[in-house]
């Protein structure tokens, strides 16, 4: 499918007003993230928004090549300031300039424009006047590495492991990295327990560990580096787009074609900072993103597709499919948790409701992961089965289609 057809497609949900969105910021340029502390703000090292191939080991968890269903579903609190009861009214950009070190007013303003500064739980503009007892949060779209991760005895589905890396099949519902509201019970807590006796592994070091992430409610394969050398080599493969990543997704609607290519920049939706939007590829808004899709199975009102990532942006598959007019089934963030196709009968509505209950999450699974082993140079290719909720959902749709054909 040609990208020009995408932007002219009147049936696709339109991203109104996006061409007038402010320049994209991930919030990191405001500060250099440290653990949140009330009233006192300090700085540490920032993780750049784009990875440098010459120093990939410094930060391989990078939004530029995170899987298309990245965990940026949530923002992470890096700083919190509770305004003093005697504080006079003051613009928030001026206020934070006083309370944050190693930043500038311009950076604060850009962060506010991008929705990364919140007051009492809501994003505010740069002109907001700070009031006594306001709770100000500086949010970023990645967790801090300075958090001490506590080992927790949580089962892991380890597909492969050697002295240098491990491949994990993450279940839906498990958060990958501790962050605001999810400090415990994450995959990294489980990895810390599993490798607690491995002498080279320091779970709190950014030089090893996760090479990419997937969202809490997405299931599938992830690779974890156990040494700095392994992480450097794996990070370069993600940066150079030489890894193989294939997803299976159930989306709303039918397709006229059997395969297609989506090219459209991915950036935060200015109307909903928890959601990503698609912008024209020749615009300066968002980041370049390309998804290839292939039809695997048609159910009339829904379609099972294979998505192959050429890039790996935040929510790439979810945002691209929504932009095409095919939101992921049961994807609450992108409108897929409503009946978008089908009849208006009570029987059909009950069927869809039962489907939502059977798999109460976006139906997205990171099925295939391939890369070159960072030490041996061997080609590694891993494939994973669908989780039980997705298997049950596919069986239900096949049964529905079969019964419809017989009527």
Structural contact between residues 57 and 236, judged by C-beta atoms closer than 8 angstroms: no
Q: Choose, from 62, 93, 141, 215, the residue flagged as catalytic.
A: 215
- DSSP symbol at 38: B
Largest CA-CA distance found in the chain, in angstroms, rounded: 74
- Which DSSP string do the residues of 359-396 spell out, in sequence order? S-S--EEEEEEEEE-TTT--EEEEE-PPPHHHHHHHHH
Which residues is 223 bridged to in the sheet?
Answer: 167
The residue assigned the tokens 């519902």 is 173
Find all residues with CB under 8 Å of 353, minimum gap 6, and list them: none
HSE-up (13 A, CA, CB side) for residue 46: 15
- From 399, 368, 363, 392, select the one nearest 381 (Cα to Cα): 368
Q: What are phi and psi of 236, to 5 degrees?
A: -65, -35
- From 305, 311, 276, select the one nearest 290 (Cα to Cα): 311
Cα–Cα dist 47/311, whole Å: 20
Structural contact between residues 211 and 224, judged by C-beta atoms closer than 8 angstroms: yes
10 Å CB burial of residue 280 (0-12, 13-18, 19+) is middle
* Residue 215 designated active-site: yes
The residue assigned the tokens 């109460």 is 360
- Please identify every residue annotated as catalytic: 215
């Amino acid at each position: 499918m040609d990208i020009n057809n995408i932007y002219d497609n009147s049936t696709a949900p339109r991203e109104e007003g996006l061409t007038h969105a402010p320049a994209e910021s991930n919030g990191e340029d405001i500060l250099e993230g440290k653990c949140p502390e009330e009233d006192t703000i300090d700085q540490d090292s920032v993780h750049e928004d784009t990875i440098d191939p010459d120093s990939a080991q410094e930060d391989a968890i990078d939004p530029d090549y995170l899987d298309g269903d990245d965990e940026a579903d949530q923002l992470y609190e890096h700083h919190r300031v509770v305004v003093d009861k005697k504080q006079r009214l003051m613009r928030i950009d001026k206020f934070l300039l006083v309370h944050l070190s190693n930043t500038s007013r311009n950076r604060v303003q850009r962060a506010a424009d991008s929705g990364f500064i919140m007051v009492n739980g809501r994003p505010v503009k740069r002109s907001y006047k700070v009031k006594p007892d306001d709770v100000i949060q500086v949010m970023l779209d990645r967790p801090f590495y300075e958090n001490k991760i506590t080992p927790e005895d949580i089962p892991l589905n380890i597909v492969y492991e050697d002295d240098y890396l491990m491949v994990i099949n993450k279940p839906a519902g498990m958060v990958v990295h501790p962050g605001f509201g999810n400090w415990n019970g994450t995959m990294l807590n489980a990895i810390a327990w599993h490798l607690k006796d491995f002498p080279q592994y320091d779970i709190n070091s950014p030089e090893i560990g996760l090479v990419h992430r997937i969202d809490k409610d997405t299931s599938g394969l992830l690779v974890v580096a156990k040494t700095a050398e392994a992480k450097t080599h794996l990070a370069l493969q993600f940066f150079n787009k030489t890894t193989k990543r294939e997803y299976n997704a159930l989306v709303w609607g039918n397709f006229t074609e059997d395969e297609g290519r989506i090219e459209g920049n991915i950036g935060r939706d200015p109307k909903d900072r928890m959601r990503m939007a698609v912008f024209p590829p020749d615009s300066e808004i968002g980041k370049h993103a390309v998804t290839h899709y292939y039809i695997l199975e048609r159910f009339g009102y829904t379609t099972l597709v294979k998505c192959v990532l050429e890039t790996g942006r935040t929510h790439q598959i979810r945002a691209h499919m929504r932009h095409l007019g095919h939101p992921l089934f049961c994807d609450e963030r992108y409108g897929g948790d409503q009946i978008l196709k089908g009849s208006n009968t009570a029987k059909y509505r009950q069927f869809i409701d039962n489907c939502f209950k059977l798999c109460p999450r976006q139906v997205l699974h990171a099925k295939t992961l391939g890369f070159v082993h960072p030490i041996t140079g061997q080609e590694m290719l891993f494939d994973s089965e669908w989780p039980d909720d997705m298997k049950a959902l596919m069986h239900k749709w096949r049964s529905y289609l079969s019964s419809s054909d017989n009527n």
